[in-house]
Amino acid sequence: MVKISPSLMCMDISKFEEQINCLNQTVDYYHIDIMDGHYVSNMTLSPWFIEQLKDHTETPLDAHLMVTNPIEYVDQLLDLGVEVISIHAEYLNGHAFRLSETIKQRGKKMGVVLNPETPLTIITDYLHLIDIVTVMTVDPGFAGQTFISESLDKVRKLNAYREEHQLAFEIQIDGSCNEKTYHTMIEAGADILIVGTSGLFNLDDSIEKSVELMQGHILAAAQTK
């Protein structure tokens, strides 16, 4: 089965403990969007949120840095025990080899994020260092956007590149992961789906029912791959 990573910027913060306690039993990662209002115009979660979350879960955390100076966050996030640090390719270039050594010395994973317009060629020189490649199927920064189907071509190319070069990175999709798109995402080669409003949190008022519905949608999509 494909792995699941809920985007916690989409959760109901007023029901934080209830939702986290339920999700802890079923998900593989938590996706934490950190935005500074500069790289993208929105502002959401922060390292402070991660510090609070760690008291409620042992699920691995994936910090997605949508900030203008992501390198400055790395040591703080490692100290907080974040499992994956995901940086947009435009900012990772020029730092990838050094950061990979720093992150992996702490036993953690390095991720790279590709915007819809970012070509795969920009990361191929250091793709062997990457643990998770996140392909954005929406523009970064806001929930509830229209799915950009052209991004799936990038997923297919990554899948083929991984097989050709015998690499082990996982392919993660961020954006409009829901019942309408699961099948094509899994078919293209996605290993991890980041689910948000349309894929999880808005399916039902009950988080338990929402998880049940999400799992059914994904199972149905995987069976028709």
d(CA 7, CA 166): 30
Q: How many other C-beta atoms lie within 10 A of the C-beta of residue 149?
A: 11
Active site residue 174: yes
> What six digits make up the tokens of 184?
């094509």
Asked if residues 199 and 163 have their Cβ atoms less than 8 Å apart, the reply is: no
Q: How far is CA 62 from CA 32, 84, 119, 211, 222, in A?
A: 6, 4, 23, 20, 24
**SS3 state at 145:** coil
d(CA 177, CA 160): 22
Active site residue 12: no
**SS3 state at 107:** coil
Which candidate in 131, 174, 191, 204 is catalytic?
Answer: 174
Which candidate in 12, 33, 131, 153 is catalytic?
Answer: 33
Catalytic site positions = 33, 174
